[in-house]
């Protein structure tokens, strides 16, 4: 297994902690605002749960998920309540990302993932005994590729794939019989552009053959502690994952499924949280640019992809001297070695503290 990347930030955290105003930790995208009442009330109401939940998910949850996908993303699922499921709940999205190659029965070959990518894509390949190749465009030859990961909006850099880029991957995957999986956990958080789902009919065509999409309530519903995620798309692939999950007992607790259903049926709390993040983003963007640093991509999601055109660890040390902790871009692959990732997931008070330190 690779080293756990955040362990290497210990020295930077220690230096930042020496600041008189305390640490401003922008290194991890953990929500800090209260979970909305629409979730907490649904969770409490479903608290009497003596029986086991199903891996398939309740009909209420699958109906709400299909409604959310249609209403917010323009995605029409194939019979979400049918015998061959086109959507199932997952225990958050990280465990799904880490276990998906294994649950799809992939034991030999190569996983394609973005040049700059969430580390768990590689971890999932390692766990399954697969190799990894980084590629932002479809390769001329498939080689021994068995799975493609897309991430739009991207973590860490907030890059959004355009329609033509998505269509190219969909066509390539179908031509070579390679499943294409899009991690769309930040899809509700577009700032400069409106992200498009790989399952949208203008991308996927009339059906979802060979395609999967991953979604999460962690960021859009401020519910990371609930561990509520979704897998949707090609019923044949979803069924394969569901069959393994029920054998392994990878079950989303019943009260959490009730909270997820309530959240997916309510757009108001998502819009309110978007506005909180939008305000924090505007303030932090202005402060970062005032230092002379550059922000690349970052048109969506919860992070700023910042560079001073130097090694990322030099930037990390500079920020630590201001009492600010960020994530070095090298965590996300060699192509990130001259950037740092700054998260918007801090309280207004801590964001304001970071702004003051960057602009003093």
State how far the Cα of 349 lies from the Cα of 303, in Å rounded to an integer. Answer: 18
Q: Tell me if 359 sits within 8 A of 325, measured CB to CB.
A: no
pLDDT at res. 84: 86
**Cα Dmax for the chain:** 61
CATH topology (fold) of 49-266: 3.40.640
- What is the predicted pLDDT for the residue at 3? 66
State pTM to two decimals: 0.96
What confidence score (pLDDT) does residue 145 get?
98
Write the CB contacts of 43 (distance below 8 Å, at least 6 apart in sequence).
226, 255, 256, 258, 259
Regarding beta strands 24-25 and 324-325, do their DSSP bridges make them parallel or antiparallel, or are they unpaired? parallel
pLDDT tens digit string along 97-131? 999 999 999 999 999 999 999 999 999 999 999 99
Per DSSP, 9 falls in state: G
DSSP assigned state of 300: B
In the chain, residues under CATH classification 3.90.1150.10 are 5-29+269-359
CATH number of 5-29+269-359: 3.90.1150.10
CA distance 233 to 80: 10
Q: Is the peptide bond before 224 cis (omega within 30 degrees of 0)?
A: no
Please give the C-alpha separations between residue 12 and each of 219, 328, 331, 358, in angstroms, as whole numbers: 26, 11, 15, 17
Retrieve residue 229's tokens. 């995620």
* pLDDT the model gives residue 8: 87
Domain with CATH 3.40.640.10 in the chain: 49-266
Residues 6+ apart with CB under 8 A from 298: 157, 158, 191, 285, 304, 305
User: With b meaning 16 or more CB within 10 Å and e meaning fewer, what string describes 47-66?
Assistant: eeeeeebbbbbbeebbbbbb
* Positions in the chain short of pLDDT 50: none
Q: What are the E-state strand segments in the chain?
A: 24-25, 87-91, 110-113, 131-134, 145-151, 180-183, 211-216, 228-233, 294-296, 303-307, 324-325, 327-328, 340-343
Question: What φ, ψ does residue 283 adopt, rounded to 5°?
Answer: -70, -40
């Amino acid at each position: 297994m690779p080293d756990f990347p955040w362990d290497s930030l210990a020295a930077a955290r220690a230096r930042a902690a020496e600041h008189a105003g305390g640490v401003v930790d922008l290194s991890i995208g953990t929500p800090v605002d209260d979970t909305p009442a629409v979730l907490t009330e649904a969770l409490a109401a479903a608290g009497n749960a003596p029986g086991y939940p199903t891996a398939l998910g309740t009909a209420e949850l699958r109906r709400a998920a299909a409604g959310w996908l249609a209403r917010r993303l323009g995605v029409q699922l194939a019979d979400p309540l049918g015998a061959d499921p086109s959507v199932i709940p997952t225990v958050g999205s990280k465990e799904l990302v880490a276990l998906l190659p294994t649950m799809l029965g992939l034991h030999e070959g190569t996983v394609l993932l973005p040049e700059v990518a969430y580390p768990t894509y590689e971890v999932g390949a390692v766990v399954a005994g697969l190799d990894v190749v980084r590629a932002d465009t479809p390769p001329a030859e498939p080689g021994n590729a068995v799975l493609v990961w897309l991430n739009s909006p991207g973590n860490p850099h907030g890059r959004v794939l355009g329609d033509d880029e998505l269509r190219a991957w969909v066509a390539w995957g179908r031509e070579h019989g390679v499943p294409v999986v899009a991690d769309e956990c930040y899809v509700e958080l577009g700032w400069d552009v409106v992200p498009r789902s790989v399952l949208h009919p203008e991308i996927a065509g009339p059906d979802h053959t060979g395609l999967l999409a991953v979604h999460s309530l962690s960021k859009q519903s401020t519910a990371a502690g609930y561990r509520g995620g979704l897998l949707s798309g090609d019923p044949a692939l979803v069924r394969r994952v569901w069959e393994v999950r029920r054998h392994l007992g990878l079950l989303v607790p019943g009260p959490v499924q009730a909270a997820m259903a309530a959240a997916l049926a309510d757009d108001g709390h998502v819009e309110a949280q978007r506005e909180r993040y939008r305000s924090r983003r505007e303030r932090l963007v202005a402060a970062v640019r005032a230092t002379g640093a550059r922000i690349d991509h970052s048109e969506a999601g919860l992070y700023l992809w910042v560079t001073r055109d130097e090694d990322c660890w030099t930037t990390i040390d500079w920020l630590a001297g201001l009492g600010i902790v960020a994530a070095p871009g090298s965590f996300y692959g060699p192509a990130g070695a001259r950037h740092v990732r700054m998260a918007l997931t801090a309280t207004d008070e801590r964001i304001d503290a970071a702004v003051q330190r960057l602009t003093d």
